[in-house]
Each structure stands twice: as C-alpha cells, then as structure tokens.
Structure 1
Amino acid sequence: VKFNDILEHLYKMTHNPSDKRHIILDLDSTNVETHGHQDESTYIYHYDTTGYHPMVLYDGLTGDLMKFMLRKGSEYTSTGVVSFLEPVLFSLRRTYPEATILVRGDSGFAVPQLYDLCEEYGVHYLFKLKANATLHKLSSFEEELFLTNYKTDYSKYHCQYNDFSYQAKSWSRSRHVIIKIERSPGELVPRKSFIITSLRLDAPDILKAYNKRGNMENYIKETKLDFGLDHLSHSSFLANQAKAMILAVAYSLVNAMKQLVLPKEFSKSRMSTLRTLFIKIAGKSISHAKKIKIRLCSSAPYKEAILKMLENIHLLALG
C-alpha cells in the first residue's frame, strides 16, 4: 500500500490541479513470468506462460503508472478491481475536482460493479463487452442492414455503427451500448464489436476513444522490458511483491522526469533510449563541499540537452 501511495504522490507532484482538465485511466492486467517453484505462481493459459497476473492502472494521456498490484497467477482479470480502483477515484476527485475522468478497459473488466462505481463517482467509462445471444439478437437488424448495403462486395473494407440500450440481468439499470459491424477485404462473415459507455458521443468517436487505449501496451512494455518487470525470481510472493513495487516506482520517477525535466524532443522516449543517450555515457563527476561538477567529453552529442535538464532540475528545486 505504501508503495502505491508513492505513485499517487508522484502523480500529484507532476500534475498541477489548475492545469489538469482531462484524466484517462486505463485498466489492464498483464503477466510477469516466474521460473521454478515460486509462491502463488501458476500457469496462465491466456499468456501461455507460468507466472503472476498483476493488475495495472495507467494514465492513458501521460503514461503515469497510477497503481500496481501483484496478484497470484490464478486470479481472473477483474478480481478485486473495485477495491483496486475506488481509492484512486476518491483521491483524484478530491485533488482534481474540475477534471473530466474516463476509465477504459477490455472485456475482462466489463463487470456491473465497475459501472456502478464509475457512476457513483461521476466518472465516464468505456468497456468492451463480450458478445452473447442477447446482444446478437439486439443487433440482428443492424447486421441485416449491413448485408443489404454491402452484399457480396468482398473486395473492400466496410464498417457500420449503431447504438441501443441494454440491461443484463445482473445490472442495476439499462446502459448505452455501441455496436460496430465490420468486414475486411476477403472476409465472408462480418465481425461485431460491442462497447458499453456512459459517453454521449457519435458511435465512431466512441470507438476511436476506446481504440486509443492500445497505447497503454507501450507503457506496459516499457515497464516490463526497460525496468525489468517482465519476470520475478524470488521464491516468496512477498519478496516478489516488494521488488515489483520498487520497479513500478522507478518507472514512475522516470516518467515524471520525462514530463518535468527532459527537453520536449525527448519527453516521449523510452527508458532504454534515455539510458543510451544520457546515462551510459562517458563523463566524470567531481564533488566539492557545496558543488557537484559533471565533466562531459568535449564531443558529447547531447551536451545541450543535458545542460537543459540540469537547468530544469534547478528550476524545480527553486519552485
């Protein structure tokens, strides 16, 4: 819990309440590989690997890691999601009362308890729904219209949208569902996608907003590959949990640095790139009583960028 408090504190330090108007929270789960006999590790069929199944929450606009929870490998995608997300929503509503907040997630997070939670906090949501017999029935007319409009034209991409109200038996009320029917060149049968949302936008815009959550995969990839959170090797779950959270904080510190310190042209760079450009370089640090001097090679190609970073760090310290 304390490590997640650090993630929250870093986020609030990085984003001024007066400037923060839009927050997009991307929920996901991922795999962390293990090797050997490690506590709570198990085979995860979806990833075809043995490991843990953590839940992650990123700011989809900035890449900030908002929260991380290591879970045993047998946990389902949405297990514990309400208790995971609610403290974040409570904190964000207090710190950024004027901000519009949107929560996005794939079909693994499409559970009614999460819709209720978002509505309780006045937060918009976008979740993909798993198709079922009722959804297919409600969209049958739209499918017939699609086949009438495009018939046997299999040489081009075709797409059609519609929306309707839908209430599953476990839901407290009916909600807005978007349907997308599409067929790629060479395909015989059109494909359907269903999105549940509180947004009142045109269907294409809603689908576009949902599809942008794919950028979160880049954040997950950087966290895992550039910071070593792709595997955990301790035998105890507690030790692995501590290591995972330390790596999560490291990612968040660097992401804060990207936004506050780095020159704009490097603010979107991955840690693997920053390591090559600014960390693993020839140089010498000389410490005096009240000063630290950094001597770079005379031909250092990114000397100006490093000087700009030092200037920005100084301005932060003054602020």
Structure 2
Amino acid sequence: MVAKAEWLGDKSNPRFVVTSFCEQTHPARALYEELYCARGDMENRIKEQQLDLFADPTSAHTLRANQLRLWFASVAYVLLNLLRHFGLRSTELERAQAGTIRLKLLKLAAIVRVSVRRVVLSLSAAAPVRELFARIAEQLRTVPAPS
C-alpha cells in the first residue's frame, strides 16, 4: 500500500493506492507518480477528446453514423496531438489543451487558395497568430518523413 498525505489550504487530501506489485520492482514513489498519476492524466485526455473534439454521446439515428462521428473525433485528436508534438514545439501552445488550440489557432478567418502544388492561407495583417503560424509552418516543414 502507498499512502500520500497532503494538506491543501484548510483541509487534508489523503491518497491511498493498494496494489499487488512488490516493493522491489515498483518503489512507492514511482508507483504513485508514474503509474497512478498517469492513469489520472489519461482520464484527462479522454475528457479533452469528449469536450473539445465532440466525442460526446452521439445522437444520430444509426449506429454507423454514430461510429463515423467517433472516428472523426478520434482522427482529429490524433492529428491535434501530432500538431502539438511536431508543430507547436517550443511555442506558447506546446502544452495547451485541444480546446485552446482549436480556439486560438484553428478557429480564425483566412482565405484559402488551393492549387495543384500548394495550399496558401492568407491571414489578415492584424491577425494575432500570424507569426505563430509562420513558426509552426517552418517547424512542420523540417519534420523528417517517416521511413
């Protein structure tokens, strides 16, 4: 059993983890911080997908339509994580939640021109994320192709 005693302001916040892992292979601190807390973080990622990427209870009339909505939400989450990992590295949005990235980076007005060889986004001269977009584009340009 691992116990954590914490005092937050005016009340206690005890935590207990009961496990069958032996102490030699899983020291108490590592068990709590790396396994138990990681579980809580995973629940936060699920909540992020449900709230920010609309993987909430589906209301379509058919199972296939509901399944397709969940697939879209899952693909959006994977793409957002790849953007976070490769494009937002060393920016103020590097550790931002999906909703924040969507609101500050993806929900903005732009003129999109598609040609055979490129996609051009024209942002307003007053767009607050103009420099951030350029930095992200440069970082994505330098990502090595998978082999």
Note whether the superposition's TM-score is higher than 0.5.
yes
User: Structure 2: 5+ residue runs without aligned partners?
Assistant: none
**Which structure shows the bigger proportion of residues in helix conformation?**
2
Aligned match of 1:195: 19
The one-letter code of the counterpart of 2:111 is K
Aligned residue for 1:279? 106
1:28-56 CA distances to partner (integer Å, 9 max, x unpaired)? xxxxxxxxxxxxxxxxxxxxxxxxxxxxx
Cα gap change, 1:182 to 1:288, in 2 (>3 Å): closer
Whether the 8 Å contact between 2:17 and 2:32 is mirrored in structure 1 is no
Alignment of 1:251-262 (within 5 A): 251-262=77-88
Distance 1:313 1:182 in 2: 42
* Alignment-mate amino acid for residue 226 of structure 1: D
Which amino acid letter does the alignment assign opposite residue 81 of structure 2?
A: N
In the aligned structure 1, how far is the partner of 2:119 from the partner of 2:15? Answer: 62
Higher relative contact order (CA 8 A, sep 6+): 1
Q: Does 1:297 align with 2:124?
A: yes
Q: 2:2 aligned to 180, 186, 189, which one? A: 180
Q: Percent identity?
A: 24
Aligned amino acid, residue 304 of structure 1 = E
CA distance in 2, matches of 1:183, 1:290: 60
- Give the TM-score, by structure 1 length: 0.38
**Cα offset, 1:203, TM superposition:** 2.1
Q: Select the residue among 56, 60, 64 that pairs with 1:230.
A: 56
Amino acid of the residue matched to residue 28 of structure 2?
A
Alignment of 1:91-240 (within 5 A): 179-181=1-3, 193-197=17-21, 200-212=25-37, 213-240=39-66
Question: Contact 1:285–1:293 (CA<8 Å) still a contact in 2?
Answer: yes
RMSD of Structure 2 on Structure 1 (CA): 3.0
- Return structure 1 stretches of 4+ with deviation > 6 angstroms: 182-187
Judging by fraction of residues, say which structure has more strand: 1
CA shift in 2, pair 1:182/1:270, >3 Å:
closer
Q: Distance between the aligned counterparts of 1:258 and 1:317, measured in 2?
A: 16
Query: What number of residue pairs does the alignment pair up?
Result: 139
> Distance in 1 between the 2:4 and 2:119 partners?
61
- Normalised to the residue count of structure 2, the TM-score between the two structures is 0.74
